[in-house]
Structure formats: structure tokens, C-alpha cells
Amino acid sequence: MISGPMQNAATPHQDLYSGLIRLHILHHACEGDIFGLGMIEELGRHGYKLSPGTMYPILHSLEGRGLLVSKEKQEGRRYRRFYRATSAGRKALVAAEEKVRELFGELFEDDPRGRARKRR
């Protein structure tokens, strides 16, 4: 289950966060190798609560779409699967950044301090 930073009974819209989570994962995978537990912890710092049962299917899905590639590496006595962005993943992130920038501009266009304008 994906939980967002504002999840409670009054905000049952956590499904809206799933694309943001995927973009966040892709962003970090473009910066370097990532692994599931590390991304769960990173996203947790941003207020998202993901279980391994949610994170790993997301990683597998991104890999299946050709946006990530994985490799198993030995760390001490155990093996860990690391993911990194492919060329297609980097291109997808660049395209998504433009869309996010456009949306951000619309959401915050009326307030130069970056606060959302009130919705009617």
C-alpha cells in the first residue's frame, strides 16, 4: 500500500502519489545505483510509507518497461539487487521533469512565495 504524507480519513487520495513515487525512484536511479530498502527509507524521509510488497513490484515494473536495469551484487555474505536508470529511463525523467515543471507553475502561479492558491 502506498501512503502519502497527508494520508488520513479526510485525504483518501494516496493513489495520486503513485506517479510522484515512481518519478522519485527514477530520479535517484539516474543519480546512481539504488536498492529497494534504501528507496523505502529515502521515500520515508519525504513522508511516504511503502512496504517491500509495494516497492519491489514498482521496481520490477520500471525494469520491465525498460526504464531501469538491475544487477545483483554481493555485499558481505548476502546479495542485493541494485537498480540504475537506462538511457530510456533518463529520457523519460527529462520528459517528466518538463511536465512536473508545467504543473508546478500552474499550481503555484498566483503566489510568488510558492504557496498554493485557494481552490474554489
36 touches 81 (CB < 8 A): yes
Q: What is the pLDDT of residue 12?
A: 57
Residue 75's CATH number: 1.10.10.10
Q: How many CA atoms lie within 13 A of 117 on its CB side?
A: 11
103 domain residue, yes or no? no
At 5-28, the pLDDT tens digits run 444 443 456 677 889 999 999 999
Whether pLDDT at 4 is above 80: no
67 touches 85 (CB < 8 A): yes
Give, as one character, the DSSP assignment of residue 117. Answer: P
Mean pLDDT of the region 43-68: 95
Q: Is the pTM of this model over 0.85?
A: no
For residues 108 and 63, the model is more confident at 63
The cell for 35 is 536498492
Count of the separate structural domains present in the chain: 1
Q: What is the pLDDT of residue 9?
A: 44
72 domain residue, yes or no? yes
Q: What is the pLDDT of residue 116?
A: 55
Q: What is the pLDDT of residue 11?
A: 40
98 domain residue, yes or no? no
The cell for 51 is 512496504
Whether pLDDT at 98 is above 60: yes
92 touches 77 (CB < 8 A): no
Whether pLDDT at 32 is above 90: yes
